[in-house]
Amino acid sequence: MRRDARFFLLILAGFATFQAGQAATRKAHSVVLGAVHNEPYSQQGDPAGFEAGDETSLPVRALLVNGVFKAWTTGDSHDVTDRSFVVRQAIRMNNALPGDKHESWVWQRGPWLLVNRDTGRATDLSLRDYDPAVSQVSWFRDYAAYCGVTPSGKSLYAVVEQIAVRKPVLAKKLMSFDAANHPDPACDPVAWQRTPLRVTFHPAGMDAVAFDIVSGSAMLVEGTGGEPQTPAALPNAK
């Protein structure tokens, strides 16, 4: 056998051994949400995330990866794909004042998590102008639609975020907003329509507003890292 042929075969054998080793080191991850249990809860403990019906208790459950606790969650999860889902965090906050002799723990609703079932990785989702007191997220595919409040607290926006995109697919002002004195809820849940892809917002005190979402090239990449990637072009909204 020629020397270069033997060398080529050795490379192939080495590559095959490497691939076999990689496959052997990959482990299947067990990602589950535990049983729901109710924790003492009050508006004073979580003024931003307070919702009607939660005056005395907040339903929480643990996110477990390979049997190890990762985070507390609350509310329903949403399957984005067969490999990933989103769920809202529940945070246990120390409410003690300086000088208090004992810690005082309260529950608060936190940000949303994107969880990859294959890798077991949980990633915080940063949603633009998301306000726990106002924003009720309505999920469809990998889109999150909600009424958002600008950092100044003076404007209410219609927002649609897509997980794989770093900028919102839609961000349109709906009305002026008074953070200290506003209807509760400020917006009813957002409604989705599949064909054509349309989202309808229902802000309090004004007519419903609908927007057609033009699907672009954004794609959720579920690789070994489990992190969304940014496409070259953003979808447009009108």
Pick the more confident residue, 41 or 222: 41
171 and 80 assigned to the same domain: no
Domain with 217, as residue range(s), is: 127-238
Q: Among 125, 152, 183, give the residue marking a domain's end.
A: 125
Say whether the peptide bond before residue 151 is cis (omega within 30 degrees of 0). Answer: no
Task: Tell me the pLDDT band of 87, cut-offs 50, 70 and 90.
Answer: very high
* 3 state DSSP class of 34: coil
235 and 194 assigned to the same domain: yes
pLDDT digits (tens, 9 = 90+) for 156-172: 999 999 998 878 899 99
Give the mean model confidence (pLDDT) for residues 80-87: 95
Q: Among 90, 125, 160, give the residue marking a domain's end.
A: 125
Q: CA angle at residue 130 from 68 to 188, to 5 degrees?
A: 105
For the cut 70, the answer to whether the pLDDT of residue 204 exceeds it is yes
Helix H or strand E encompassing 6: helix 3-25
115 and 64 assigned to the same domain: yes
pLDDT the model gives residue 230? 35
Is residue 221 assigned to a domain? yes
pLDDT the model gives residue 172? 93
Q: What is the pTM of this model?
A: 0.75
For the cut 90, the answer to whether the pLDDT of residue 69 exceeds it is yes
Q: How confident is the prediction for the chain on average, in pLDDT?
A: 81
139 and 200 assigned to the same domain: yes
Is residue 195 assigned to a domain? yes
Is residue 65 assigned to a domain? yes
Pick the more confident residue, 22 or 183: 183
Nearest to 124 by CA among 63, 170, 67: 63
Give the mean model confidence (pLDDT) for residues 64-87: 95
**What is the domain count for the chain?**
2
What is d(CA 110, CA 138) in angstroms, rounded to the nearest whole number?
16
For the cut 70, the answer to whether the pLDDT of residue 238 exceeds it is no
112 and 146 assigned to the same domain: no
pLDDT the model gives residue 12? 53
pLDDT digits (tens, 9 = 90+) for 134-162: 899 999 999 999 999 999 999 999 999 99
170 and 221 assigned to the same domain: yes
pLDDT digits (tens, 9 = 90+) for 2-36: 555 554 444 555 555 545 444 444 567 899 999 99
Nearest to 75 by CA among 122, 36, 129, 121: 36
Q: Among 106, 125, 144, give the residue marking a domain's end.
A: 125
